[in-house]
Amino acid sequence: MEYDLPAELSVEVDGPIRTVVLNRPDVFNAVNEPLHSGLADVWEQLAADHDARVVILTGAGRAFCSGGDLDWITSFLDDPVARDASLVAGARIVDEMLRFPLPVIAAVNGPAVGLGCTLAVFSDIVLLSETAYLADPHVTVGLVAGDGGAAFWSLLTPILRSREYLYTGDRIPAATAVELGLATRVVSPDAVLTEARRCAERLAAQSPEALRGTKRLLNGVLARALGDALPEGFAAEGASMRSVEHRERLLALRPPAGPA
């Protein structure tokens, strides 16, 4: 099957296993508009690949995904059309992952921040490198953690623990992420992809219909538990994108302009 995706996102084919690679290693796989659009489109294309049985999701280079590209998200401050389009695509990414029929193994080879964290925890099995960490820093830039964090984490973790990390945006070390229920297990840095492939091969050998049916039941429980929380979360995030405080906090992250 031919995949129609931007250069920032690739699909590698190995028998029944598909490896989806976030491919902006020079910027730690920060999400720009093409990568964001690709992440919204890839799940439907994977589901249409009748030879696929399991998907591995990982990042090129030293990071899984460092979150939104600063230049891209700063452009939203004065471009409401692009801002709203990003929210629609973000909601589609989460919805597509919840409805996706095949098991997804996140091979988290490095930092998974913001949307990267969401991509990881929405996967079925999450393998974290010992040197990786999760973080959702929405609140630190004046945004509601609406793209999965506030709604989804509370189904996975003790709410008192998840509150602290969502309110502060602090990094969650790999071992702590497993303890909290945000990841499956920790593996050595040089074994992340090897372990992901070993797990994928085992799942690919299972009955496809039994595996799909089991995932459908599990994700149906999650979808019902989430209810309207995800749409409400994206709406709240969109409202906070229009705030003066978000503008000020985001602009403060940009390096000062050099001399003319």
Closest CA to 240 of 96, 98, 144, 169: 144
CA–CA separation, 163 vs 149, rounded Å? 10
- pLDDT > 90? residue 183: yes
* Cα separations in angstroms, 145 against 104, 109, 184: 23, 23, 22
Whether 155 and 225 have beta carbons less than 8 Å apart is answered as yes
Overall average pLDDT of the 1-20 stretch: 97
Residue 57 CA to residue 105 CA, distance in Å, equals: 6
Name, in order, each residue with C-beta under 8 angstroms of 140's C-beta and a sequence gap of 6 or more: 168, 169, 249
Q: pLDDT-based confidence at 151, cuts 50/70/90? A: confident
- At residue 109, what is the residue type? N
Q: What is the per-residue pLDDT across 83-109, written as a single tens digit (0 to 9) for each?
A: 999 999 999 999 999 999 999 999 999
**Using CB atoms within 10 A of its CB, is residue 207 exposed (0-12), middle (13-18) or buried (19+)?**
exposed
Helix axes 149-156, 159-168, angle to 10 degrees: 150
Domain ranges within the chain, ordered by starting residue: 9-191+207-252
DSSP-assigned states of every residue in 114-180: THHHHHHHTSSEEEEETT-EEE--TGGGT---TTTHHHHHHHHS-HHHHHHHHHH---EEHHHHHHH
- Mean model confidence pLDDT for the chain: 95
Backbone angles phi, psi at 51, to 5 degrees: -90, -10
pLDDT tens digit string along 184-237?
999 999 999 999 999 999 999 999 999 999 999 999 999 999 888 989 999 999
* Percent of the chain scoring above 90 in pLDDT: 89
Could you tell me which of 117, 102, 131 has the C-alpha nearest to residue 19?
102
pLDDT in tens, 62-80: 999 999 999 999 999 999 9
**Domain made up of 9-191+207-252: CATH architecture:** Alpha-Beta Complex (3.90)
pTM (2 d.p.): 0.96
Checking if the pLDDT of 7 tops 80, the result is: yes
**pLDDT recorded at residue 203:** 98
Tell me which residue of 240, 214, 135, 218 sits closest to 177, measured CA to CA. Answer: 135
